[in-house]
Chain A
């Protein structure tokens, strides 16, 4: 998709594959045939630039067509550069400007609580994204209001646009920060499917406070020349690179 679009964000999409797969196939209560079901669990991609992984998962689930995934970023495509509810109404939020998805998710979590709905809210955040101050406003809010029906997932792939997170604005000690804000923090390997499943189960069992999964991941996971390479934050692979990547991922 990204090669065809000649632009996009492959690295941060590949780091989130296992987490989104576990969420959409194992964890979330949702129904692609009934996307407006009031009690559905909801997913928000705070790091909206990883739209390709979300589009792939939603298409595989039957929310949107798989045949047109390669129209990513083209005029008129429902697969806009960043998730856009105007084109895909089954998206829970339009994202792309970093730092806002967790707050929106908390609003949904409040509504679910008011309605005595079992709906749970999942928000994926980029590691660079949580440098935004609004994330920490939201973190305070979530703990203060004891929002145990929301789970934040930090896709901690250690790389942002300009380089390594530790060189741009270090986040450490990250788990301690979330715990200090009153969240239940679980650190895990975000590519280890049983570990991801176990973390979501632990989140569901955590009462009286919100949970954050700090998922240690590898940017560009599965493609040797992309792994841990800041270049592939926002650069499309060439056709030759795409063929090589497909061979490695297969």
Chain B
């Protein structure tokens, strides 16, 4: 289903800001919503929740492993915990706890990783999160979501809370373009067709969705009709949308602010190989750690721009013929 047909792509709020605000609204609606923080509340934006609901906000200190398992205990007793930190920390330091105390017993913990990808910029690779989707998708039973703008993040915070089971929600640090109207209806597991197209499909999540829209505009000027799909749910995949894209356009580019060796791209390729095998190209971080710099400079150096997406599309189309 199409969200829009023309995009102005004005800059909006960061997805982490949208998360923080949506969490407060959710807290007002449901007293079982609780939050665990590891000394990053002002960065993950859960400080808004802490201010309004101090009794339901638990400071865990810089101890992510303990924090994740505390969340598991809260969920086991009927609470709906949102456990938030930088994506790099909550998934890497908390992975064993996510595995044994959350995924394996399938408890209802919502894990939120902010400052994902490389767009945290200046802080550099120790704070960047380029493996998080691989890790989250490796956990059986987890739902994994990477929204592309503030409106979709706000919606997915509520959908995550309503979903019975563990969820990983990926948020970013920088402000990102507005893609959706505030009242757009999202569904877990459903892709959104943002632009129609017949020659190739550009699939993306997170901030690469806006870049894919821009890439489609670049390609349009070259006479190439590119379909754009926002795929906020990395797991479970919208297999119908993928197989339709493969069957109808015969070429797919998957772009993501993540290692291309994992994440959404390889998962889409698996679905494509089982439905309508077609040529594919991948835009992601290539087997390396990035470096410090402004988010714009880092994204450009590591290939996360509309021009990179358009170039990948041209490569794919060359192979398609």
Given known pairs A97-B100, A100-B97, A114-B55, the reply for A107 and B65 (CB within 8 Å) is no
For residue B26, CB closer than 8 A to chain A, the reply is no
Q: How many residues of B contact A (CB 8 A)?
A: 31
Interface members, chain A 45-64 (any B CB < 8 Å) = none
Task: Tell whether, in the assembled complex, residue A141 and residue B101 are in contact, meaning their CB atoms are under 8 Å apart.
Answer: no
Interface string of A98-114 (1 = CB under 8 A from B): 00100111111111101
Q: Report Cα–Cα, A30/B11, bound state, in Å.
A: 56
Residues of A with C-beta under 8 A to B34: 110, 114
164-222 of chain B: CB within 8 A of chain A? none
Q: A114-B34, A134-B65, A138-B66 are in contact. Are A103 and B73 (CB under 8 A)?
A: yes
- B92 at the A interface (CB under 8 A): no
For B72, give its contact among A38, A107, A112, A115 (CB under 8 Å).
Answer: A107
Residue contact B63 to A141, C-beta cutoff 8 Å: yes
Q: Which residues of A contact B81 (CB under 8 A)?
A: 107
> A100 to B70, Cβ gap below 8 A?
no
Q: What 8 A-B pairs are tightest by C-beta distance, nearest first?
A: A107-B73, A103-B69, A111-B77, A137-B66, A137-B63, A104-B73, A107-B70, A107-B74
CB contacts (< 8 Å) of A96 on chain B: these are 100
CB distance from A136 to the nearest CB of B (A): 9
Q: List B contacts of A144 (CB < 8 A).
A: 59, 61
The A-contacting residues of B in range 38-83, CB under 8 angstroms, are: 55-56, 58-61, 63, 65-66, 68-79, 81
Q: How far is the CB of B98 from chain A (nearest CB, A)?
A: 11
B247 at the interface (CB under 8 A from A): no
Q: How large is the interface on A (under 10, 10 to 19, 20 to 34, 35 or more residues)?
A: 20 to 34
Most chain A Cβ neighbours within 10 Å, of B59, B66, B81 = B66
Residue interface mask A120-140, B partner, CB < 8 A = 1: 000000000000011001101
Q: By the criterion CB–CB under 8 Å, are B66 and A109 in contact?
A: no
CB neighbours (8 Å) of A104 from chain B are: 69-70, 72-73, 76, 101
Contacts of B70 in A (CB 8 A): 103-104, 106-107, 110, 138, 141
Q: Does A145 lie within 8 Å of B66, measured CB to CB?
A: no
B74 near A108 with CB under 8 A, answer: yes
Kindly list chain B residues whose C-beta atoms are within 8 Å of the C-beta of A38: 78
Question: Considering only CB atoms, which chain A residue lies closest to B62 in the complex?
Answer: A137
Docked CA distance A108–B69 (Å): 10
Question: Which residues from chain A contact B75 at a C-beta distance below 8 Å?
Answer: 107
Q: Flag if B96 contacts A93 (CB, 8 Å).
A: no
Q: Select which of A100, A111, A114, A133 is within 8 A of B69 by beta carbon.
A: A100
